[in-house]
Amino acid sequence: MPPLGYALLGLIHQQPASGYALRKVFAETAMGSYSSSPGAIYPALQRLEEQRLVSSKVDRSRSLRPKKIYQSTAQGTKLLRGWLQRPITSEDVKRRLDELLLRFAFYPMLESTLATRSFLESFRRQVEDYVTNLENQLKAFPPEAPIHSRLALEGGIEQYRTWARWARNALSQFEEDAS
Amino acid sequence: MPPLGYALLGLIHQQPASGYALRKVFAETAMGSYSSSPGAIYPALQRLEEQRLVSSKVDRSRSLRPKKIYQSTAQGTKLLRGWLQRPITSEDVKRRLDELLLRFAFYPMLESTLATRSFLESFRRQVEDYVTNLENQLKAFPPEAPIHSRLALEGGIEQYRTWARWARNALSQFEEDAS
DNA sequence: TCGCACATGTAACGTGTTACATGATTCA
DNA sequence: TGAATCATGTAACACGTTACATGTGCGA
């Protein structure tokens, strides 16, 4: 399943919705890293339905303009849970950070503070490892290298440091108040 | 041209290289957001060559193991320059930040501090606008919304703030020492 | 009645992914 | 001699992009 599939599945699980409503979410909110084009959304929804991960019913309550409302099935919910709890790999951190954040945003459905904490701890560890990796690359930079590449790399490092900080802060909000 | 094409073109312009060498760059450095798989690289290089953006010659210096070395053509260089100087759109900032940083890393070929400064100023402005946009989304969050979504959004905002800070800092390094 | 927002779709196309395939060179 | 690295490619497949297509409902 491509990321868009999970994004749709997650949103539909939160609340049944039409293709048009889902398009608006991608077009108007911070979830804009996923495509809102009809050529992406409608075929993706059809695939989800073929795989029985969602079901649809046509709504004609408002006049005869048909509107297909999707809701997630037991199978879809199960798949979503599995996706949320996948181990976080270094590849995820390197190339799919946005997908990790999408996963995190859907974590409430697991209703488990423990699961959230595991995610954030693993995320923080992987991000910190990658920061170390990038710092070594920076050290290995020849002094005559163009300053632009160096700056770009430094910017990347700052981003990951910011994510690590974010994870530590988020973690503190899910800490058990163990006395 | 897809981003991978520009990434290859930019690297080849910096220094003639073989497909294998380019794959290693993507596999081993912070440019890892681009695919290093042979099924992506080799067809992409063939396309660049068909379009006369690069030329290749076979190197047999080390034994008879053939090695195709690519170098950029005048046409390729021209296309690259055009790409580097494209106006930065809000869509770039929203969905293609990594491509913007790739562009910045190739800016030395323009040999113009002015061009670098324009890029960074435009970048900073667009990023700051987007931060404002995201902050408004955060304000519009209903209080009963799950804390996870809120945290994910806050993390995104922090990222963009970090980029704005980065741009301001980078800019200071390219400031004219006007007296 | 004009245009905009609502609402869903299809078709052609290009590209990345995954898996497969081949062979030379170097070093233990 | 066997494994790892160097080195280049192809084929099937799935997916997103872009452009096109169609029609309703509502407010100015």
- Cβ-Cβ contacts under 8 Å for B26 (sequence gap 6 or more): B7, B32, B34, B35, B36, B41
Give the whole-angstrom CA distance, residue A23 versus residue B21: 41
Q: Which residues of B touch A152 (CB under 8 A)?
A: 101-102, 104-105
From first to last of its 179 residues, chain A has per-residue pLDDT tens of 999 999 999 999 999 999 999 999 999 999 999 999 999 999 999 999 999 999 999 987 766 678 999 999 999 999 999 999 999 999 999 999 999 999 999 999 999 999 999 999 999 999 999 999 999 999 998 898 899 999 999 999 999 999 999 999 999 999 865 44
List the B88 CA – D13 C1' distance (angstroms): 34
Residue A162 is nearest to which of B108, B162, B173, comparing CB atoms? B162
Residue of B nearest to A135 (CA): B30
Express each pLDDT in B15-41 by its tens digit. 999 999 999 999 999 999 999 999 999
Per-residue pLDDT of A86-130, as tens digits, reads 999 999 999 999 999 999 999 999 999 999 999 999 999 999 999
Protein-to-nucleotide distance from the CA of A102 to the C1' of C6, whole angstroms? 27
A108 touches chain B (CB under 8 A): yes
CA dihedral B105, B106, B111, B115 (to 10 degrees): -70
Partners of A18 in the β-ladder: A69
Instruction: Spell out the residues 6+ positions from residue A115 whose beta carbon is closer than 8 angstroms to its own.
Output: A84, A85, A107
- Contact predicate A94/B33, CB 8 Å: yes
**Residues B26/B32/B34/B36 CA torsion (nearest 10 deg):** 40
Q: What is the DSSP string of A144-172?
A: TS-HHHHHHHHHHHHHHHHHHHHHHHHHH
Q: What local confidence, expressed as pLDDT, does residue A109 receive?
A: 97
- Please report the pLDDT score of residue B66 as a whole number: 81
Do the Cβ atoms of A94 and B146 come within 8 Å?
no
**Contact call for A166 and B154, based on CB within 8 A:** yes
The pLDDT, as a whole number, for residue A64 is: 65
Task: Please report where in the chains the tokens 């490892």 appear, as a residue.
Answer: A129
Strands A17-18 and A54-59: unpaired
Q: Nearest residue to nucleotide C9 when comparing alpha carbons to its C1'?
A: A42
Amino acid type, B57:
K
Q: Do B156 and A106 touch (CB under 8 A)?
A: no
Taking a C-beta distance cutoff of 8 angstroms, is the pair B153, B134 a contact?
yes
B172 vs B31: CA distance, rounded Å: 25
Query: DSSP readout, B15-51?
Result: S-EEHHHHHHHHHHSTTTTS---HHHHHHHHHHHHHT
CB of A132 less than 8 A from some CB of B: no
Positions of chain B with pLDDT under 70: 62-64, 176-179
Interface-testing mutation among A112, A153, A162, with chain B (most B C-beta atoms within 10 A): A162
Q: What confidence score (pLDDT) does residue A63 get?
A: 67
CA B109 to chain CA centroid, Å, is 14
Q: Distance, angstroms, CA B26 to C1' D17?
A: 25
Structure tokens at B5: 């094409």
pLDDT, residue B63, reads: 67
Q: Which nucleotide comes closest to A17 if you measure CA to C1'?
A: C7
Q: What is the pTM of this model?
A: 0.93
